[in-house]
């Protein structure tokens, strides 16, 4: 249990609780036809962990606050991925790429028009 708690940055008690309640959550996760229920269980678990980290953050001393804040950010990232949502950063990067592609297409269109113009001159038109 100690190895798992270190690997997943949680207490041995949480690992034990998850193992103890495995018969309630594992069948849901293994049944592919019921992904919504599995997703709900995961979201509820992440929500619980987030609330715990938030409570500890509020009562922690200044040296410990970055640890709990980091856990809260990590949990949020995991929830976003479980829900299949894109993060704000991903959305901004996608918008930036779209603008870059549009600019490149506009440059290529101007270039093609110039080629057509000069091609027409070379062909005697």
pTM: 0.46
Largest CA distance in the chain: 85
Is the pLDDT reported for residue 121 higher than 60? Answer: no
More confident residue, 53 or 90: 53
pLDDT for 48: 93
* Tally of CB atoms within 10 A around 41: 14
Residues 32-41: tens digit of each pLDDT: 556 777 778 8
Residues 2-19: tens digit of each pLDDT: 787 787 778 888 877 888
* Tally of CB atoms within 10 A around 59: 10
Give CA–CA dist 116/109, Å, rounded.
10
């Amino acid at each position: 249990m100690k190895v798992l708690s270190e690997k997943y940055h949680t207490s041995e008690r949480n690992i034990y609780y998850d193992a103890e309640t495995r018969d309630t959550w594992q069948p849901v996760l293994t049944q592919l036809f019921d992904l919504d229920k599995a997703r709900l269980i995961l979201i509820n678990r992440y929500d619980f962990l987030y609330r715990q980290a938030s409570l500890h953050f509020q009562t922690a001393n200044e040296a410990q606050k970055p640890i709990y804040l980091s856990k809260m950010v990590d949990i949020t990232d995991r929830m976003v991925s479980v829900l299949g949502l894109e993060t704000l950063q991903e959305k901004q990067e996608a918008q930036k790429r779209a603008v870059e592609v549009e600019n490149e297409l506009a440059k290529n269109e101007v270039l093609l028009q110039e080629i057509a113009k000069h091609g027409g001159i070379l062909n005697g038109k």
